[in-house]
A and B are shown apart, each in its own frame.
Chain A
């Protein structure tokens, strides 16, 4: 079946602009995760949606970052007033409910802020 898809694959934006990144999880996966990966760095957790529960936003680096998940499926990560340090690959993953929460990742969106 279809895997996790993300769009766009690449995004170049000017400093100060807002950007929206989209994630389509695997059908039936109720858990959805956003991560950020900077060059040579590990995966940095951003936010986690689990079913109808309140999302875990503990990883969001600032209030410029927000995410929503509509209808328990598609998710959008929004970065307002982008800064150069926001440049990174943004990865989305989804999983089934219950441990061990094996995660399936999308290809990522490479964001470059100029």
Chain B
């Protein structure tokens, strides 16, 4: 079955720097990969989707890359701000389950210090 690893449980960076979060998966390459943000006491919020035929996707200060050879996605936040502090989750379709079912990584907790 597919497994997801988000290498760092926590990442601490200084305001203004670029935060880079990693999502690795095993087994089959998914048709797409999603990134979500979760704040304490709230449900996850969808941020970005990248498809297998896309190398890179951007949205404002966010950039996601997808390397099917390395079985890895990188999530970048440029010019980071304290308001970016949250837990970031990656998610892949679970082809071992029902269509539409996603499996989520455990997340990386990002802290941006002023």
Contact = CB atoms under 8 A, between A and B. Distances in A.
Contacts, number: 69
Most B CB contacts (10 A, CB to CB) among A42, A43, A45 go to A43
Chain B, interface residues (CB within 8 Å), range: 20 to 34
A38 to B, nearest CB: 11
Interface residues of A, number: 26
Most B CB contacts (10 A, CB to CB) among A48, A99, A100, A101 go to A100
A108 B89 contact: no
B101 interface: yes
A100 B49 contact: yes
A58 B98 CA distance: 9
A93 B43 CA distance: 9
Given A50-B100, A99-B93, A42 B46 contact: no
A20 B113 CA distance: 41
Interface string B32-50: 1010100001111110010
A29 to B, nearest CB: 11
Contact of A107 (B36, B43, B106): B43
Interface string B3-43: 00000000000000000000000000001101010000111
B107 A42 contact: yes
Contact of B100 (A41, A58, A101): A101
Contacts of B51: 100
Nearest to B100: A101
Interface of B: 31-32, 34, 36, 41-46, 49, 51, 89, 91, 93-94, 97-107
13 contacts: A31-B100, A43-B104, A45-B101, A48-B101, A50-B100, A56-B97, A58-B97, A95-B100, A99-B32, A105-B45, A107-B41, A107-B42, A108-B42
Interface of A: 4, 31, 33, 35, 41-43, 45, 48, 50, 56, 58, 91, 93, 95, 97, 99-108
